[in-house]
Amino acid sequence: MYITGDKLKYVSVVVAGDVRTGRLVEAVGREQPASKQRRDRPTLGKQPVGSLIRRRFITISARTVAWDILSNEPVYARKGTKMENYIGIDISKRYFDLHCLPEGKQHQFENNQKGIQQCLKLLADIKPKLVVMESTGGYEITLACKLQAVGLPVAVVNPRQIRDFAKAIGQIAKTDKIDAKVIAKFASMVEPPAREVMDDKARQLKGLVTRRDQLTEMHVAESNRMEHVVDRSIAHSIKAILKVIERQISDIDKQIAEHIRQDEHLRRKADIVDSAPGIGNTTAFMLVTKLPEIGTLNRRQIAALVGVAPMNRDSGAFRGKRMTGGGRSSVRSSLFMPTLVAIKHNPVIREFYQRLLSVGKTKMTAVIAAMRKLLTILNTMVAKNEFWNPKIA
């Protein structure tokens, strides 16, 4: 929240809000008459609040920090409060830039083993509360794993979140150093949750699932080309490519199944998911690898994570149409066909789908609602460690 000297001459109570939830956690400020400004003037530490009216005060994790409006930097902490260090890292193929808050120091390292070791040595002295970096198509994996291996909290976030945050704070220019600075500010103000350490087997499994998605996209593209081919030689070439892709997908499916069979926890989750009508081995393996949070979140959280929860679009008296979106689109797209199968063969999902159609919902709306219903049922089954039971679904 901004407090400007143009409209507020004197603040008696500092405004504090949690930037992650948007909730007000302390009393709002109020303007005092000029006659009372010299008497009983409150202070923040050794500085009068009146001298800080061009700053905004936010509470993050029970600590109040002042941020300068023009430079958008932390400028003062409540007396006795220790300022935590936050690290933002912008990664490219050859280099990565590091920005540390609140000191504002910049560092650049080569994106190789030598540069990563130098970075680890620096962060060992800084002892940051959180390290945030963007997901950059794989360039961040080695660095993130090395940081996690030495016990540092690391969050890898969607680049779109960082770009939207930069626009929100008025940062239009974009360079590697500026991006690292923006990421560090995002880390200090939003504090995204650090992800769990991923071991070698988990990384291999994730890589196999990603490769399968790539091959599936290639198969769809080649199949689409086949529909428009009139030359027999080109058709023969496309068929040969399709056979190779299908063999590769089959081999990767076997490797994914073997990885899951070797992990007792994943195997149990996959068996539970696979017990639901409409869900096969491929979908079960996809869910336990792409959606490791299944069984750990409530029904609203899991629906929002996948992007099948309807979002409000209201403003004043206007009531907009509820729409779904965001979340993990790859999981959502992989669940579409299993949902259609469940509508035909799963009695619970079929009844739910028919009921929506009977009250006037469109078919696509009913399908998405059925997808959410199926997902939440699977989530509950995994959470309770129970196989499919239509009586309690």
For position 341, what pLDDT does the model report? Answer: 92
Element (H, E) at 373: helix 363-384
Dihedral of the alpha carbons of 265, 269, 270, 272, in degrees to the nearest 10: 140
Asked if 250 and 275 sit in the same domain, the reply is: no
CB 111 within 8 A of CB 93: yes
Asked if 256 and 275 sit in the same domain, the reply is: no
Confidence of residue 251 (pLDDT cuts 50, 70, 90): very high
Asked if 388 and 269 sit in the same domain, the reply is: yes
Domain count, the chain: 4
For position 22, what pLDDT does the model report? Answer: 42
Judge whether 160 lies within some domain.
yes
Alpha-carbon distance of 325 to 310, in angstroms, equals 8
Asked if 392 and 267 sit in the same domain, the reply is: yes
| Domain final residue, candidates 136, 159, 190 | 190
User: What are the start-end ranges of the H helices in 48-175?
Assistant: 113-126, 141-149, 159-168
Asked if 39 and 116 sit in the same domain, the reply is: no
Alpha-carbon distance of 101 to 117, in angstroms, equals 21
Q: Average pLDDT of 209-230?
A: 90
Indicate whether 60 pLDDT > 70: no
Asked if 291 and 384 sit in the same domain, the reply is: yes
Indicate whether 53 pLDDT > 70: no
| Residues constituting the chain | 393
- Of 80-84, 189-193, 194-198, 228-232, least confident by mean pLDDT is 80-84
Asked if 247 and 318 sit in the same domain, the reply is: no
Judge whether 46 lies within some domain.
yes
Asked if 277 and 328 sit in the same domain, the reply is: yes
| Domain final residue, candidates 207, 227, 262 | 262
Judge whether 142 lies within some domain.
yes
Who wins on pLDDT, 195 or 341? 341
CB 115 within 8 A of CB 142: no
Q: What is the pTM of this model?
A: 0.63
Alpha-carbon distance of 104 to 175, in angstroms, equals 16
> In the structure encoding, which two tokens stand for residue 69, read together?
């409006």
Q: Which of 41-55, 63-77, 209-223, 378-392 has the highest mean pLDDT?
A: 209-223
Asked if 271 and 367 sit in the same domain, the reply is: yes
Judge whether 4 lies within some domain.
no
For position 49, what pLDDT does the model report? Answer: 41
Indicate whether 73 pLDDT > 60: no
Residue carrying the six token digits 């063969």: 345
Residue carrying the six token digits 């350490």: 197
For position 37, what pLDDT does the model report? Answer: 44
Q: How would DSSP label each residue in 7-34?
A: T-S-BSS---EETTTTEE-SPPP-B--G
Structural domain for 211, as ranges: 199-262
Asked if 256 and 139 sit in the same domain, the reply is: no
Judge whether 169 lies within some domain.
yes
For position 205, what pLDDT does the model report? Answer: 86
Judge whether 311 lies within some domain.
yes
Asked if 236 and 354 sit in the same domain, the reply is: no
Collapse the DSSP code of 119 into the 3-class scheme (helix H, G, I; strand E, B; otherwise coil) and give the result: helix
Q: Average pLDDT of 115-122?
A: 91
Asked if 90 and 203 sit in the same domain, the reply is: no
Judge whether 227 lies within some domain.
yes
Who wins on pLDDT, 310 or 304? 304
